[in-house]
Structure 1
Amino acid sequence: MATRYWIVSLPVKSSASSLWSRLQESISKNSFDTPLYRFNIPNLRVGTLDSLLALSDDLLKANTFIEACSHKIRRQIEDLEKLSGILSSSLTVDGVPVDSYLTKFVWDEAKYPTMSPLKEIVDGIHVHVAKIDDDLKIRIAEYNNVRSQLNAINRKQTGSLAVRDLSNLVKPEDLVTSEHLITLIAVVPKYSQKDWLSSYETLTTYVVPRSSKNLHEDNEYAIYTVTLFIRDADNFRTKAREKGFQVRDFEYNSETQESRKQEIEKLIEDQESMRNSLLNWCYTSYGEVFTSWMHFCAVRLFSESILRYGLPPSFLSVVLSPSVKSEKKVRSILENLSDSSNSTFWKAEEDGGMGSLGGDTDTHPYVSFTINLI
Structure 2
Amino acid sequence: MASSELWLVSAPGEKNANDAWDKLNRCTGNLSVNNKFNIPDLKVGTLDQLVGLSDDLGKLDSTAEVVTRKLVTYFGEVLEDDKSKLEENLTIGNKDMPSYVTKFQWEGAKYPLKQTLKVLSEIIAKQITQIDNDLKAKSVAYNNLKNTLASIDRKATGSLLTKDLADVVKADDFVLNSEYLQTILVVVPRLNIKEWEQRYSTFSSMVVPGSSRMISEKGEHCLYTVTLFKKVIDEFKNAARENKFIVRDFVYDEESLKAGKNERDKLVAEKQRQYAPLIRWLKINFGEIFAAYIHIKALRVFVESVLRYGLPVNFQAAVVEPSKGSQKKLRAELHKLYIHLDGSAAGPIDTFEDSPALMSLGVNEYYPYVFFKLNLDFISK
Q: Same fold (TM over 0.5)?
A: yes
Which residue does 1:366 correspond to in 2?
369
1:1-374 residue pairs with structure 2 within 5 A?
Answer: 1-28=2-29, 30-31=30-31, 34-82=32-80, 87-90=85-88, 91-177=90-176, 178-338=178-338, 340-345=340-345, 348=352, 361-374=364-377
Tell me whether 299-308 or 10-19 shows the greater mean CA deviation. Answer: 10-19
Q: CA deviation at 1:265?
A: 0.8
Q: State the AA in 2 paired with 1:123.
A: E
Deviations 1:278-315 (A, max 9, x none): 22111000000111111111110000111111111121
User: Residues of 2 paired with 1:303 and 1:360: CA distance?
Assistant: 18
List per-residue Cα deviations over 1:226-246 (Å, max 9, x = no partner): 112333333222322222222
Superposed displacement of residue 2, structure 1: 2.0
Tell me how far apart the structure 1 counterparts of residues 83 and 138 of structure 2 sit (CA, whole Å).
Answer: 21
**Greater CA deviation, 76-85 or 155-164?**
76-85
Give the alignment's Cα RMSD to 1 decimal: 2.4
Percent sequence identity over aligned pairs: 38
Residues 166-175 or 10-19, more deviating: 10-19
Structure 1's unaligned 5+ residue stretches are: none
2:4 and 2:375 in contact (8 A); partners too: yes
In the alignment, is the contact (CA less than 8 A) between 1:346 and 1:363 conserved in 2? no
Report how far residue 105 of structure 1 moved: 0.6
CA deviation vs aligned residue, 1:24-63 (integer Å, no higher than 9, x gap): 23333x52xx221000011111100000111111222111
Structure 1 SS opposite 2:79: helix
Segments of 5+ residues of structure 2 without an aligned counterpart are none
Bigger mean CA deviation after superposition, 256-265 or 75-84: 75-84
1:218–1:360 CA distance, 2 compared to 1 (3 A): farther
C-alpha spacing 1:25/1:83, structure 2 compared with 1 (3 Å): closer
- Asked whether the equivalents of residues 8 and 367 of structure 1 are also in contact (C-alpha less than 8 Å), the reply is yes
Amino acid at match of 2:243: K
Displacement of 1:346? 7.8
1:249 to partner: Cα distance:
2.6
- Please give the alpha-carbon distance, in whole angstroms, between the structure 1 residues aligned to 2:227 and 2:81: 46
In structure 2, distance between residues paired with 1:65 and 1:326? 30
C-alpha change, 1:222 and 1:126, in structure 2 (3 Å) is same
Measured after TM superposition, the shift of residue 12 of structure 1 is 2.4
Offset of residue 353 of structure 1: 9.5
- Alpha carbons 1:66, 1:293 under 8 Å: kept: yes
User: In structure 2, what is the Cα distance between the partners aligned to 1:371 and 1:44?
Assistant: 22
CA distance in 2, matches of 1:352, 1:71: 30
- Residues of 1 paired with 2:278 and 2:244: CA distance? 48
Equivalenced residues, count: 370
**Cα displacement (A) at 1:354:** 7.5
TM-score normalised per structure 1: 0.91
> 1:2-26, CA deviations, whole angstroms, 9 ceiling, x for partnerless residues?
2111111012243330121122233
Q: From the superposition, tell whether residues 65 and 295 of structure 1 become closer, same or farther in structure 2 (CA, over 3 Å).
A: same
Are the aligned partners of 2:358 and 2:364 in contact in 1 as well (CA < 8 Å)?
Answer: no
Query: In structure 1, what residue type is equivalent to 2:267?
Result: L
Alpha-carbon distance between aligned partners in 2 of 1:370 and 1:50, rounded to the nearest angstrom: 25
Give 1:8's aligned amino acid. V
Describe the SS at the equivalent of 2:27.
helix
Alignment check: 8 A CA contact 1:52 1:307 kept: yes
Deviation at 1:327? 1.1
Contact kept? 2:184, 2:251, Cα under 8 Å = no
Specify the code of the residue in structure 1 equivalent to 2:254. S
- Is the Cα–Cα contact under 8 Å of residues 339 and 346 in structure 2 kept in the other structure? no
CA shift in 2, pair 1:26/1:345, >3 Å: closer
Q: CA contact under 8 A between 2:353 and 2:364: conserved in structure 1?
A: no
User: Over residues 201-251 of structure 1, what are the superposed CA-to-partner deviations in whole Å (9 max), with x where a residue is unaligned?
Assistant: 122222222211111122232211111233333322232222222222322
